[in-house]
Chains A and B, each alone.
Chain A
Amino acid sequence: MTDGHDRLQGLLDRGPISFAGLTDAQADQLADLVEAAKVRQREQLKAAVDGGLNNIPRLLRGPIKKLVF
């Protein structure tokens, strides 16, 4: 197995998917897309939680922060 395939397998690592049809460069390209999606999602979550917390009554912010973080 090559670097691109290793990277992809490590990222997905769930179930039997055959990536034999992918070149190493394609596996790398797909791994980039999955990683970018994960980063984008994490940033969206952080922005959403920060924005939401600012709009919750002050008294509830503490308990809610404890639950979320």
Chain B
Amino acid sequence: MAEPSIETQTALTKLARALEIPVADVVFLDHLAVEDLRTLQWNISDVLGAANRRRLQGVANASKLIPVGLAATIGEKWFGPVLCAQLVGLIEPARGGQFAKQLSVPFMADITRRTDPRVVSELVNHLSVRTMQKIAIALLDDGDYLTLSHFVGHLPPETIGSILDAIDDNAAVVRIARFVDDVSNLNPVVALLPDSRIVALVEAVDEADLWVDGLHLFSQLEETQITRIATTIVDTNDGMIASALQAFDRHDLWQQGFALVDHLDAAHLATFADVLLVVNDDLIAAAVDAIDTHNAWPTLVRIARSVEHLAPNVQARLRSLVESLPAARVDGFRAASTQLGYPDLLSRVLGT
């Protein structure tokens, strides 16, 4: 049986978290639509939150009768993170901020893990950035990427950006992003990141071989950010392009890779072509197979359209590549060339 998609795995993990059970216990739902799984997860959170609402509100009210320090001690020592997480949305945000000054960071991380992100929008205004950064680092120290992802879309992008400032592990940032339900919520966050951070994220994707997650993520961002990332990969160095190509082949990510290439301008396409066309023959053959399989001839046309500006050895390589294509593939290249407004491209490539 095929492995569930990344989105399904994420939705199942979050559903299991809502029920406080291992993810293996909900795998039987893996055939449901991702949207249904997400709705189910929020629905279950609502039902569990409402189940003891009256008593929980009583606990929240009672906490006002005792000093913050004593209430925090009782919370950490006796109530535990599950109950405290349910109280987060019932306690006045300002008082929540006072509690945060008393509670230990590991305990707040445990609370955060179990908190419904929909109830924290006011509370974060009463938490210091440093506190949120410490909680984030504690979660990552436990390898918990899912919790932070859960809050994207429920916190202002600037707040997420401030938290990311404290996370040095760029591979962790990619892993967090992988779990975000609605990637469109990442666009304003990515837009806030400086170029140096984008470079560091791309390097982390390469070093940790996170290309599967990385390309899945990049491909869902808005056009501006995809272009920024595609350009960064090309600008980093030739080694990065070659490494990306090998990853596309290793993980069968050609289709996603071609989508990135389609965002490059002419100058970056030429740089990309310089590398693509001089890598080893096996990789080139794999790329051409993938172009044929995914009908990505327009991508090759875009690469080839500036053929006269390519380095002589790259031009020669492109020529021999096209000459070696079987007739059906040449037809695919010619049709795409004509469609994109370069009817003479085949002749130009072949020098005829």
Contacts and interface: CB of A to CB of B under 8 A. Distances in A.
Given A15-B39, A41-B52, A64 B62 contact: yes
Nearest to B40: A17
B58 A68 contact: yes
Interface residues on A, range: 35 or more
Interface residues of B, number: 40
B51 A38 contact: yes
Nearest to A40: B20
Contacts of A52: 59, 74-75, 78-79
Contact of A21 (B19, B36, B47): B36
Given A33-B19, A38-B47, A42-B51, A48 B83 contact: yes
Contacts of B75: 52
Contact of B78 (A26, A48, A60): A48
Contacts of B26: 33
Interface in A45-61: 45, 48-49, 51-52, 54-57, 60
B67 to A, nearest CB: 10
A33 B80 CA distance: 22
Contact of A67 (B29, B44, B52, B62): B62
Contacts of A14: 43, 46-47
B44 A37 contact: yes
Nearest to B70: A56
Contacts of B61: 67
A55 B29 contact: no
Interface of B: 18-21, 25-26, 28-29, 31-33, 36, 39-40, 43-44, 46-48, 51-52, 55-56, 58-59, 61-62, 65-66, 70, 73-75, 77-80, 82-83, 86
Nearest first, the 7 closest Cβ-Cβ pairs linking A and B are A51-B78, A68-B58, A64-B62, A67-B62, A52-B78, A48-B79, A48-B83
